[in-house]
Chain A
Amino acid sequence: MSNVVVTGFGCLGAYGLGQDALRSALAAGSPLRSDVDRSASYHRRGSSETVASCGELSFEPWLSEDAGRRMSDLSQFAVTSARMALHDAGLEEIPKERTAVAIATAFGPGGFTERLALQVLQKGGKFASPFLFTDCVANAAAGQIAIAIGARGANTTICQREAGPLLAIAQAAQDLELGRADVCLAGAIDELKPLSHAILDRFRAVARPRDGEELPRPFDARRNGYLAGEGGAVLVLEREDHARARGATVLARVRASARGFDPTAPRTGLGRGHEDLAALLRDRIGPELLAETDTVVSAGSGSVHGDALEARILQRALPHAPRVLTPKAVTGEFGGGTLAPAILALQGADFAAPVGCNQPDPALEVRLESGPVRAQRLLCSAHGAGGVSAWILFEQP
């Protein structure tokens, strides 16, 4: 059994700042849509029109406006989420040499990268801004967390699309188990700019208008893509002995993890390797633990092929059909869309039925449930475009 536990978390997204805002959004069940900015003319006619954007979110008191101005959106999301997480864990002082950071990001700082690209490609190489360049590497956000809190342990950034967040949790748990750190801030941060959204649309990943409305419809017969989102979710992980010694409240245990690859997946989509992935999941986590899993915080997002893959894996690996939650229908894909809801699902949060999901796909057969949830053992799953899958099994401490 893993002795790594969750002692706090911070989150932000289109729902606003913090756990209460997320809790309210999940209880309402409505997708947090806003109109995508089409002013740069990156979008084609008939393309997706909505995103789950953080908009002009203020990060006070976690990050001052002055400090934020010197960072990309991604770094601002990261530092804010990390500070919220430490506060929630009661860790105002961290063991700096023994604190690690493991962050996943799918796109990195897309806004800074686009601005830098426009400087270089439109004006010329000599016009590149050093300020933009240094904060446009993918690991700048994790580095900014380290600088903000003084964390001098391992600092890791994982880029594996939608699977990254759970891979980051597994990486952090491993570093703690191997005694490389006493505290690890782990999670996912994403910013979504119009250019990234327009490219996702060209790959037919995001939902488009259908029957007069553009909705993410996980596991629904009418699903045609996900709601692309942005935000951050950072968990504080510790070994249980460290957490108990400082009198921390333990929110969850990271019981087990699994990860695998489906080579049938196209580079920008998901494949048909559900048999192999389900076998790998059973092998790595164990059929007994899976049989005692009562809740799945699902990768289900409205993705045509992704939801089918998810359903078929669940049918094979968890044939007892535990309840399935689909928080990405509210928060959107990216930005740690399942991590914070998973911890809330262990704490009695209310999950409303997602709006627009009233025609379940009969081929998928997942048990979607709504209402208050206090999971005892919960499987969080993720499937990244390109073929990487990851799972984390959380349980009550």
Chain B
Amino acid sequence: MSEQVVVTGIGSVSGLGATAEQLWQRALRGERGVRDLDLFSTDTHRTRLAVPVDDASLPERFAHLARADRFGCTATAAATANAGLPAEALRSARAGVFFGSSTGALFEGERFLKELLAEREGDLHSIVGLQNDGPGTAVAKEFAVRGPVMTFSTACTSANVALGAALDALRSGEIDVAIAGGSDELCEITYAGFNSLRAIDANPTRPFRADRAGLSMGEGSGVLLLETRSHAEARGATILAELCGAARSCDAQHVSAPDPEGIGAATAIEEALREGGLTAADVTFVNAHGTGTPHNDVSESHAMRRVFGDRTQSLPITSTKSMVGHLLGAAGGIEAVLTVQSIVHRMLPPTAGDTPADPELGLDVVVDAPRELPEHNVGLSTNLAFGGNNAVVLLRSVS
């Protein structure tokens, strides 16, 4: 039996604030971070809303980095502090970084390219994190880890894939401590790209609502500080939750659309349950991918029915993307943070929105107010992505 892997710290940066506590308090109230985007001009874009991070709210410590790198390092510093982990514990071959990102420093890359097109030299330093490994490598360097460092770029499942890889590395005994999550930043290319697919709602996103019309893009970072249980207990750490399962699958059908029947997503959920030694009956709530696009929410509801059967109608499900937006490669990271908080506080934040949940989906969508959860919880966090990618993680209460 491999060792348990536990969460001892969380950190986040998002449009709902620069700390996980701000994120949690605002999410409980169902607050939306969506606003007019001022990071770049939206004059030539189809929409104008997003959920950007307020850079002024971030600590100065990592201001020298590209935005996505800065988000990742800020969230990591918070997670480490939350865990009470001394910095020396990370400066070891027994510590690793597992990160997801789908843009790297693409916003800074766009600025650099604009300069090149104008036949001027851009700021070369600004694009040292241009490649997708930027945030993960920045975290590894700033915190001086010496163990495995891996960046996964599987679009919107990236951070969940990273969490699963961290779980494997900890269970295998390769490392004792892992920084795991993801970071992404808004940029014109992805904003225009999702708009070209008509995937962005011109109004604030309304996942699982009958009148849903697309997503709101977000940015930021979500990070879990993971340890083997023996390592955490040996140093007297407070254990927030256990990361007990993770799995991946592929629809192998379409490069951007999810399988309408949700078969691949269901396979990933069932595999994660199996690896975690759990059954569908053990799951007490779902933090869904829930992008708010008409197709995603239908696909995901089918996946839920495949796994949970009739229980789907009474299994609380929420989409925190309704508040923080879609963080792309970091989505799994911030949703894992919120899932841990839900377990710790035994409350599930609502899916923001003013219209009724879509009855056709057959889901027990948490709306209007947070839902109280039982004493012991198993939370499922799902992400689906371009490339037919599905990745899920399971977190549970620790007695």
Contacts and interface: CB of A to CB of B under 8 A. Distances in A.
Interface of A: 41-42, 96-97, 101, 106-108, 113-114, 116-130, 132-140, 142-144, 146-147, 149-161, 167, 171, 174, 178, 180, 195, 198-199, 202-203, 259-263, 265-268, 273, 276, 279-280, 283-284, 384, 386-388
Given A139-B386, A146-B388, 9 more contacts: A142-B154, A143-B386, A144-B255, A159-B132, A260-B148, A263-B145, A265-B141, A276-B146, A280-B93
Given A117-B113, A130-B196, A147-B388, A153 B146 contact: no
B36 to A, nearest CB: 15
B148 A259 contact: yes
A335 B363 CA distance: 45
A41 B137 CA distance: 30
Interface of B: 42-46, 91, 93, 96-97, 101-102, 104, 110, 113-114, 116-117, 119, 124, 127-133, 137-138, 140-141, 144-155, 161, 165, 168, 172, 174, 188-189, 191-197, 247-256, 264, 267, 271, 385-389
Contact of B250 (A101, A138, A280): A101
A388 B250 contact: no
A124 B196 CA distance: 12
Contacts of B174: 284
A126 B44 contact: yes
B45 to A, nearest CB: 3
A152 B252 contact: yes
A2 to B, nearest CB: 13
A42 B116 contact: yes
A195 B122 CA distance: 13
Contacts of B93: 260, 276, 279-280, 283
A284 B94 CA distance: 11
A152 B251 contact: yes
B189 A116 contact: yes
Contacts, number: 229
B44 A124 contact: yes
A107 B45 CA distance: 26
6 contacts: A126-B192, A128-B196, A151-B250, A267-B129, A273-B146, A280-B146
A107 B44 contact: no
A136 B196 CA distance: 13
B271 A180 contact: yes
B11 to A, nearest CB: 20
A113 B104 CA distance: 13
A146 B151 contact: no
A284 B140 CA distance: 20
B67 to A, nearest CB: 15
Nearest to A142: B387
B388 A125 contact: no
Contacts of A174: 168, 172
Contacts of B151: 158-160
Nearest to A71: B255
Given A117-B113, A126-B44, A155-B248, A261 B385 contact: no
B289 to A, nearest CB: 16
A125 B110 contact: no
B209 to A, nearest CB: 25
B256 A134 contact: yes
Contacts of A273: 146
Q: B116, B119, B144, B149: which has the most chain A beta carbons within 10 Å?
A: B149
Q: B116, B189, B248: which has the most chain A beta carbons within 10 Å?
A: B189
A185 to B, nearest CB: 12
B127 A263 contact: no
B341 to A, nearest CB: 28
A78 to B, nearest CB: 11
A125 B42 contact: yes
A273 B113 CA distance: 33
Contacts of B388: 143, 146-147, 155
7 A-B pairs with the lowest CB-CB distances in the bound complex, closest first? A143-B387, A124-B44, A133-B193, A125-B45, A128-B192, A155-B250, A154-B248
Nearest to A155: B250
Contacts of A127: 44, 192
B133 A159 contact: yes
Contact of B248 (A126, A140, A143, A156): A156
A125 B43 CA distance: 8
A120 B192 contact: yes
B255 A134 contact: yes
A31 B53 CA distance: 47
A176 B331 CA distance: 27
Contacts of A198: 116
Nearest to B101: A159
Contacts of A151: 250, 252
B118 to A, nearest CB: 11
Given A261-B145, A263-B145, A108 B153 contact: yes
B46 to A, nearest CB: 6
Contacts of A154: 247-250
Contact of A147 (B152, B254, B385): B254
Given A157-B154, A276-B146, A150 B130 contact: no
A218 to B, nearest CB: 23
A63 to B, nearest CB: 15
Nearest to B268: A154
A352 B375 CA distance: 67
Contacts of A121: 110, 113-114, 117, 188
B264 A152 contact: yes
A136 B271 contact: no
A128 B195 contact: yes
Given A117-B113, A135-B255, A387-B141, A263 B146 contact: yes
A110 to B, nearest CB: 10
A199 to B, nearest CB: 7
A138 B152 CA distance: 9
A114 B114 CA distance: 12
B319 to A, nearest CB: 22
Contacts of B129: 267
A113 B387 contact: no
B266 to A, nearest CB: 12
Nearest to B257: A134
B144 A263 contact: yes
Contact of B46 (A106, A122, A126, A134): A126
A284 B191 CA distance: 43
A267 B133 CA distance: 10
Given A121-B113, A180-B271, A140 B44 contact: no
Q: A121, A125, A260: which has the most chain B beta carbons within 10 Å?
A: A125
Contacts of A106: 131
A108 B104 CA distance: 11
A130 B197 contact: yes
Contact of B148 (A137, A152, A202, A261): A261
Contacts of A284: 174
B347 to A, nearest CB: 33
B95 to A, nearest CB: 9
Nearest to B254: A147
B362 to A, nearest CB: 25
Contact of B155 (A128, A137, A199): A137
B250 A120 contact: no
Contacts of B191: 125
